[in-house]
Chains A and B, each alone.
Chain A
Amino acid sequence: MSQLIKVTRPTKIELIKLRRRLTLASRIQKLIKDRVSILVMEFLQIAGQTVEVKKGLLDDFSAMYKALSLAAGYHGYIALEKELTASEGGLEVAAGLRNIGGVKIPAFELKKDKTTLRGYSLIDTSSWLDRTAELSEKCLEAIVELAELQRGMAQLGMEINRTKRIVNALEHLIIPGLQATIKYLNMKFEERDREEKSRLKRVKVLLERK
């Protein structure tokens, strides 16, 4: 691929500057490449976990609805609704951030109520309702975990895309461009040396003739 050679003036100082810039660009390229590989590793791990959690959530949902329909059949809808209205409670989720190689990913944690009571009468209800409540709590935890994982996956995906573009720009455009310019300057200096040598030889011959 032909490279664009941009030199303001072909001097030794310019060559030194370009060499320094090339060293910096290569250093950054190596680091960013490592960062991409780490981000990809984390992305794949999160993707795997997302699949696991989603599968578990679907299983829990199906078990929960099964238990709920059994509880509804056992108690009747009106009695069940009466019991469950009293059990409504707030949900507390601690939200923060965690950082994976410079990518901020949300971290959620469902705060568990320390009391074991669920708000409905244990005497008037059956163990089917207990089972339903237990499974729905499990589902809630999985939903919060899934939200964290899916958002994390999206964030990581975007960052991988962005970083890959930088790596590609460095690898295919900036570094080859700098190398081509350095090569061009070196050739220019060699040419100057050759010109200088031939000029000196010519002067020497002229002086000898005199």
Chain B
Amino acid sequence: MDSGLPYDRMLQKYLTGELRVLNAHLPGSQKLLSDLWDEEYPHVLCNDGSIHLFKRKELKYLADLIDADEQKMLSLPILIEVSAGRTEMAVLCPGEVEKKVIQKVLDMPLDVREGRISLYRPQLALVRKLLKTTTQYVFSTQL
């Protein structure tokens, strides 16, 4: 895709860099709620080397929603997938605990399809309002 014009090359690099920046903040690995609860400063290390801090208030809120066994299964941060050009977002649900948490936060029954719970923007706003640090956006580049 290399063109002879330096401007085009620069544009190409810039656009690809922009794509890279979108998901640079993702955590290197998720941590269990039960493990985070024991940390003095609950955090995860992101791919770009930064530290994502969890708020104790939110961890406590989550811990109140589920029982002790489920706390050992809930991986944080919960990932919210944003696909280009789609009106709804999807919460990635590898297990039943994530589903239970989101159901309790929204106070409504939800369906899991292909490991994802579809949410509309007002629902997403509510989830993000209550779980500010315990959820993170993933920008899906597949089109």
A: residues with CB less than 8 A from B are: 6, 8, 14, 17, 20-21, 24-25, 27-28, 30-35, 38, 41-42, 45, 49, 94-102, 104, 107, 109, 166, 174
Tell me whether A100 and B15 are in contact (CB under 8 A): no
Q: Are A8 and B4 in contact (CB under 8 A)?
A: yes
A/B interface sample: 17 pairs, CB < 8 A: A30-B84, A31-B19, A31-B84, A34-B82, A34-B83, A35-B82, A42-B128, A94-B41, A96-B43, A99-B25, A101-B25, A101-B82, A101-B137, A101-B139, A102-B22, A109-B53, A109-B56
Q: How far is the CB of B68 from chain A (nearest CB, A)?
A: 22
Interface of B is mostly: mixed
Q: Which of B11, B15, B22 has the most CB of A within 10 A?
A: B15
User: How many angstroms between the C-alpha atoms of A38 and B125 in the bound complex?
Assistant: 9
Across the two chains, which residue of chain B brings its CB closest to A44?
B125
CA distance A132 to B136 in the complex (A): 39
Interface of B with A (CB < 8 Å)? 1, 3-5, 8, 11-12, 15-16, 18-19, 21-25, 41, 43, 46, 50-53, 55-57, 82-85, 121, 124-125, 128-129, 132-133, 136-137, 139, 141, 143
The chain B residue with its CB closest to the CB of A41 is B125
Are A109 and B55 in contact (CB-based, < 8 A)? yes
Task: Tell me how far the C-beta of A94 lies from the nearest C-beta in chain B, rounded to whole angstroms.
Answer: 6
Cβ contact within 8 Å between B1 and A102: no
Shortest CB-to-CB span from B8 to chain A, Å, is 7
Q: Check B50–A104 contact: CB distance below 8 A.
A: yes
A130 to chain B minimum Cβ distance, whole angstroms, is 24
One of B18, B41, B50 near A99 (C-beta < 8 A): B50
Residue from A8, A45, A107, A166 in contact with B53 in the complex, judged by beta carbons closer than 8 Å: A107
User: When the two chains form their complex, are residues B50 and A102 in contact, meaning their CB atoms are under 8 A apart?
Assistant: no
Point out the residue from A17, A28, A42, A96 that lies within 8 Å of B41, measured CB to CB: A96
Known: A8-B3, A25-B15, A42-B128. A96 touches B53 (CB 8 A): yes
The chain A residue with its CB closest to the CB of B43 is A96
- What residues of chain A lie closer than 8 Å to B137, measured between beta carbons? 38, 100-101
